[in-house]
Amino acid sequence: MVITEIFKSIQGEGSRAGLPCIFVRLTGCNLRCTWCDTAYAFHGGTKQSIDEVMARVHELAGDDSSRKVSLVEITGGEPLLQAETPELMRRLLADGFRVMVETSGERFIGDLPREAIKIVDVKCPDSGEPDTFDMANLAALGGDDEVKFVVSTRRDYEFARQFSAQHRLSERVREVLFSPAFPDPAGKWPGLEPRELAEWILADGLPVRLGLQLHKFIWDPAAKGV
């Protein structure tokens, strides 16, 4: 596998935000979203075996008798580009970890372990990557999974609202997340004010969760490894 970083931090997004979590960030992505905040994971990385990844996760988590962290998220980049990802997930599950995977939604999730929690993006129009969602993923979603829309404009919001209602997402998954695009520290994109998105959600009475990237309020938004 090609790994950008493995680190321990606070889960910043979704219904498990605030929980201690170990992140395995894989290298490489085939999409180029306008608001991407992990472009450093597109290239580089180091080759590691699954055994090496497992050893580092166990080191960060503590040994089995005194494990401090049991939640592991596999992210990227796009983790489903690497053929070994499902096996890594199975190994982590077998060792008693609760496993999450965050994916762009462009790759089919149906071959992943059912016990794993899938956080699946649907790309909105102003992401620069519209119409990339694999519609077969709708049938593969489970009741503990989550679907996320990163919203950067009113047009994105209207798309996310319509898509969620059309496909009855709130009945399919644990959470539907509307997350405002965070402003780029270097000014490459303006982002969307969380308050504005919150007001839109409240005005329409949507059954969705406003998702803020908690780690960016704790640490420097441009920081790696947090």
Which residue range(s) make up the domain with 25? Answer: 2-218
Check residue 66 and give its pLDDT. 62
Domain contains 145: yes
Check residue 218 and give its pLDDT. 76
128-171: pLDDT as tens digits: 999 999 999 999 999 999 999 999 999 999 999 999 999 999 99
Check residue 150 and give its pLDDT. 97
Domain contains 13: yes
Nearest CA-CA partner of 200 in 210, 189, 187: 210
Domain contains 168: yes
Report, as ranges of residue numbers, the positions in the chain whose pLDDT lies below 50. Answer: none
**What is the per-residue DSSP string for 36-67?**
-S-GGGSS--EE--HHHHHHHHHHHH--GGG-
204-220: pLDDT as tens digits: 999 999 999 877 777 77
Output the CA angle 200-201-204, nearest 5 degrees: 85
Q: How many domains does the chain have?
A: 1
Domain contains 87: yes
Domain CATH number, residue 104: 3.20.20.70
Say what angle helices 154-166 and 194-204 make with each other, to 10 degrees.
40
